[in-house]
Amino acid sequence: MLAQFHQYRRNPLPISWRKLNRSTTIYIVFSIIAIALLYRHYSPIGVPREAEPGFRIDTSSEDGLLISRKIWQIMLPPSSSEGPSYKIDPEKLGDTASWLAQNPDYPYKLVGQKWADAFIGTRFAGDARLLHTYHSLQNPGSKSDLLRYLILSAEGGVYTDTDTVALKPIDVWVPAHLRRRVRLIVGIEFDQLDGGGWAEIPHELQFCQWTIAAAPGHPVFPAMVERSLDTLEYYAGGHNLTVSQYSPTSFEVMNSTGPAAWTDVVFAQLQLADPEITTLRNLSGMTEPTLYGDILVLPIDGFGMGQPHSNSSSSDGPIPEAALVKHNFRGSWRSSEG
């Protein structure tokens, strides 16, 4: 009896059962791994989760690029009354194909109102002032402006308007020797040089915000959001209106959430990086991408080729080597989409 007991302890299960148990364990382990991989690869990207809306895949770069590998565009209803009934016109997304073709390995997200509301409500749930102002905005251009700063702050990546064309892959935007240092890419939209001013542009040099590339968490975005909220409240109060009653002029849009305000905030960040920059004219006439701290500033052709000013290269000739993006200036920000 004792011998049988010791034999049982050495082999508590028959050999056939032990083989089955091992096989079952291996099968379960591999099944779990397979399910995890499939979920990772096929799970929806850019769909708001309860805790954290955003892309649900790994967008880190293996070559040291700090800019998140994501592409964002925004298309909001032209008025709050349309809301969920708003239907996107596919013809307005014709230029988007260039972004997908130039960057096939970059996840792409077209942000509509439903996703935007969920994103704002979860990622910035504790900021009552921001939530109130965002949901009170009636101008879709202002709302799109504010939304792009919030998305890039939280998620990083490349935001670009729906009327832009990608001329080169995002992976080549940053020179190889700077890839581990650049956390924000901005392009010059207007450079007065030795000429006169341009309509509705208050600065001698202005940065565009139709295309911005960033690593998540860059301090320029909280500063820009704060500037936007302050200015929106100031303009609305000047008309004795609440933000929800306020209908801004195009000049007020550009100076509250748009490129004029963006230029002020970016310039302040550049001055922190390089105190020798005392005026925007210090950047005038730039011909090569230049790094200030972690901000890469592109010359006029970087994001602004094809314009009739600022020594921008003509769209009629060959595309210049420095050109990364072309803006088609359909002016949708004044009425409906970003």
Q: Are residues 119 and 31 in the same domain?
A: no
Q: Are residues 135 and 246 in the same domain?
A: yes
Q: Are residues 10 and 134 in the same domain?
A: no
Lowest mean pLDDT among 8-17, 34-43, 257-266: 34-43
In a domain, 288, yes or no: yes
Domain of 176, CATH number, reads 3.90.550
- Confidence check: pLDDT of 111 > 50: yes
Q: Are residues 92 and 29 in the same domain?
A: no
In tens, the pLDDT along 227-280 reads 999 999 999 999 999 999 999 999 999 999 999 999 999 999 999 999 999 999
Query: Are 110 and 73 within 8 A, CB to CB?
Result: yes
Position 64 scores a pLDDT of 86
Position 83 scores a pLDDT of 67
Which residue is associated with the tokens 């509705």? 200
- CA distances 22 to 2, 8, 12, 16, 29, Å, are 28, 19, 14, 10, 11
Instruction: Please state the domain count of the chain.
Output: 2
**Largest Cα span, the chain:** 107
In a domain, 50, yes or no: no
In a domain, 51, yes or no: no
Q: Are residues 7 and 84 in the same domain?
A: no
Q: Are residues 148 and 243 in the same domain?
A: yes
Q: Which amino acid is at 235?
A: Y
Q: Are residues 191 and 101 in the same domain?
A: yes
Q: Are residues 147 and 216 in the same domain?
A: yes
Query: Are 211 and 159 within 8 A, CB to CB?
Result: yes
Average pLDDT, the chain: 84
Position 100 scores a pLDDT of 99
In a domain, 202, yes or no: yes
d(CA 276, CA 282): 9
Position 21 scores a pLDDT of 47
d(CA 299, CA 297): 7
d(CA 74, CA 82): 16
In tens, the pLDDT along 129-175 reads 999 999 999 999 999 999 999 999 999 999 999 999 999 999 999 99
Q: Are residues 197 and 303 in the same domain?
A: yes
With a CB cutoff of 8 Å and minimum separation 6, the contacts of 103 are: 71, 166, 169, 170, 171
d(CA 335, CA 35): 45
Q: Are residues 30 and 162 in the same domain?
A: no
In a domain, 324, yes or no: yes
In a domain, 60, yes or no: no
In tens, the pLDDT along 317-333 reads 889 999 999 999 886 54
Residue 157 φ/ψ, nearest 5 degrees: 115, -160
Q: Which residues are bridge partners to 325 per DSSP?
A: 166
- Confidence check: pLDDT of 36 > 50: no
In a domain, 55, yes or no: no
Average pLDDT of the segment spanning 9-31: 41
Query: Are 161 and 73 within 8 A, CB to CB?
Result: yes
Q: Are residues 212 and 263 in the same domain?
A: yes
- pLDDT band for position 195 (cuts 50, 70, 90): confident
Q: Which amino acid is at 127?
A: D
- Confidence check: pLDDT of 49 > 70: no
Domain range for 19: 2-41
In a domain, 176, yes or no: yes
Coil, strand or helix at 79: coil
Q: Are residues 170 and 303 in the same domain?
A: yes
Which residue is associated with the tokens 């960033």? 214
